[in-house]
Each structure stands twice: as C-alpha cells, then as structure tokens.
Amino acid sequence: MSPHELSLPGLWHSLGWPLTRLVVSISVGLLIGNLIEALNWTRGVARLAAPLTNAARLKDISGASFSLAFFSGVAANTMLAEAYDQGRLTDRELVLTNLFNSTPTYFTHLPTMFFITVPFIGSAAWVYVGLTFLAAILRTAAITLVGRLTQPPLDPGCIPCRLDEQKTATWREAWATSWKRFTKRIRKVLVITLPIYLLFDAAQRFGLFSVLERVMADHVPALTWLPPQALSIVVFHVAAEFSAGLASAGALLAAGSLTPEQVVMALLVGNLLSTPMRAFRHQFPYYAGIFTPRLAAKLIVHNQALRVVSLGLVAAVYFALA
C-alpha cells in the first residue's frame, strides 16, 4: 500500500466514497422496493413481464422483480428478499427468479459496454456484444424452460400465487409501512454488509485478489487453441481489467496480428475467466446484506455458473463457425 492510500484523502477516495455510495444505493433500493409493495403497485409492474413469468410458472412477485431489475437491481433483490422472508417465495423460486433477472441486469450495463468496446475494436464490437447479448437471452430461455418443467401450474384464484388487487393504501400509510420495513432491514444490511465490505477491501489492499488473478493468468497458456498473440488479450483481461484487454485487442487488430474473429474469441475467453471472481468480489457484500451470507453465496454461485455455461456455449458455437 502506498502512503497516499493511507492518508485521509486516499482512504476517502478508495474506501469512504465507494462504501458511502454502496450504502446510499442499497438504502434507495430498499425504500423503492418497499414503497412499490406498500402501494400495491407490484401487480401493475408485474404485468410488464407477465408473458415470460407465466411461461416459466413464476409468481407475480417474480415478474415485478424482473421488471424492476431493468431500473434497479438492488430494488429488485430487495423485493425478492422481502417476499422470501415472508414465505411467499420458496428456495427454488428465489433462485429461479434471481437467475431470471440476469437479463435485465445485463441490459443496464449494455450501453456502457457497447460504447467502451466500439472505440477499441470497431466493427468487431458488434459481434462481441451481440454474442454476450445472445448468451443473456439463452439464460432467460433456459430459466423459463426449467421453471416450466419444475414449477407447478399457477392457480389464478390462489391468494399466495396472485397479488391482492383490492388492497389499497394512501401515500402516508405506504410511507409509514415502507419506513418501518426500511429501518428494520437497513440495520441488518449495515451490520452484515459493512464488515464484509471492509474485509474484501483489506484483501484487495494486501493483494489477495491480485495473487488469485495472477494464478489464473499463469494458467492461460493452457489455451493452446488460441493464437499466441491472442493470449495477451486474455491475460490483460484476467490480470487487469476489461479495458486493458480491449486496449490490447485494439492494438493487435490495428497491426493486423489478429483477425476480428480471433479478437472476439479472446475477449470471450477473458470474460469467462475473469468475471466470476470479480462478480463475487463486488456483489457479495451487498447481496449478503439484502439476503443472508449463505443465501448470497448460493445465488451468486448459481448466477455465475449459468453465465459461464451460456457464454461458453455461445463461444464454442462461434469458434466452430468462425
């Protein structure tokens, strides 16, 4: 650690501000999710995703969470956590819905990813982003099929299966209910999230994640089916970050050392190898606050396993056809 990182401005920049932003984001998400439920807007939001959730035999609360995930992943997860705590979602329904929400979560990052990728690799960006988009669609289709095969048919007249359309609440009543739920859950979030975040930050500062990333990068040469020049893209993607891999890809593409197809494959491999650990590092602190640490780990593992399988399948087909 450098002396600057241990100074007050350095600590605020590297720890204080990110932690403040995380707590504010979770707090806003909690309030939004609770307020939507208290005002009984959940069914209206759920109608947007009704065709998909009906096909997957998921409850209306799952559809509401899916629709809300396009705007706020924290609010969507908060809604699921509340329903799970109240016994309105089973373990399987919670996992399926959380996996179901991976597509709207992907969409929230899609514009940023696209506009970062285009300047580096030009027209190859359309292929790379298109393949990751296809993988997200495959994940949704897979969860819809699994839900269809494993969930019992929904009974339109069943109170636990359908939200109460008759129940209404004034804004004052809804706010009072939301604030009561918020204060109860935010205490749990802070007690669990803050220590975990600080632990992960300490691991980052002492180089634990850098060591793990170097170990992964050292094993990249096993990918002998990739051109030697492409391995640098994978190494930078794993050992540094996405933009470093893109910079390497752009340079090799401009020099004519790699074809666009080879660049896309290298980026897909780098994505597959690097994202699971980074997702766990960034998601676990806030997931553990919204859910429980055990449940948070379970949801992240399921999410990343499905993401790796879907992206790996798309990459394999692309490699066979390219």
Cβ of 311: how many Cβ atoms within 10 Å? 22
pLDDT at 288 over 50: yes
Q: Is the pLDDT reported for residue 168 higher than 60?
A: no
Token pair 């819905």 in the structure block, residue: 97
Q: What is the structure's pLDDT at 158?
A: 44
**5 in any annotated domain:** no
Higher pLDDT, 253 or 143: 143
Is residue 131 scored above 90 in pLDDT?
yes
Q: Residue 13 carries which DSSP code?
A: I
pLDDT at position 136 over 80: yes
Q: Could you tell me if residue 107 is inside a domain? A: yes
Distance CA 255, CA 94 (A): 48
pLDDT in tens, 170-182: 667 667 777 777 7
267 to 101, 200, 210, 292, 308: CA distances (angstroms)? 24, 27, 20, 34, 14
Number of domains in the chain: 1
Residue 4 within a domain = no
Look up the domain containing 295 and give its range: 13-321
Q: Does the pLDDT value for residue 280 go beyond 70?
A: yes
169 pLDDT band, cuts 50/70/90, is low
Q: Tens digits of per-residue pLDDT, 49-67?
A: 678 888 888 888 888 888 7
CA atoms within a 13 Å half-sphere pointing along the CA-CB vector of 223: 23
Cα distances (angstroms) measured from residue 127 to each of 81, 101, 243, 318: 36, 23, 17, 10
Quote the pLDDT of residue 164: 45
Greatest Cα pair distance in the chain:
66
**Across residues 38-46, what is the average pLDDT?**
57
**Structure token pair of residue 43:** 């069914």
Whole-number mean pLDDT of the chain? 75
Rounded (5°) CA angle 318-321-322? 75
pLDDT in tens, 80-92: 888 888 888 889 9
Radius of gyration over every alpha carbon of the chain, rounded to an integer in angstroms: 22
- Which tens digits make up the pLDDT trace of 249-267? 777 777 777 788 888 888 8
Classify burial at 163, counting beta carbons within 10 Å of its beta carbon; exposed 0-12, middle 13-18, buried 19 or more: buried
Within a domain: 1: no
pLDDT at 26: 66
How confident is the model over 194-232, as pLDDT tens digits? Answer: 776 677 667 667 766 566 556 555 655 555 566 666 776
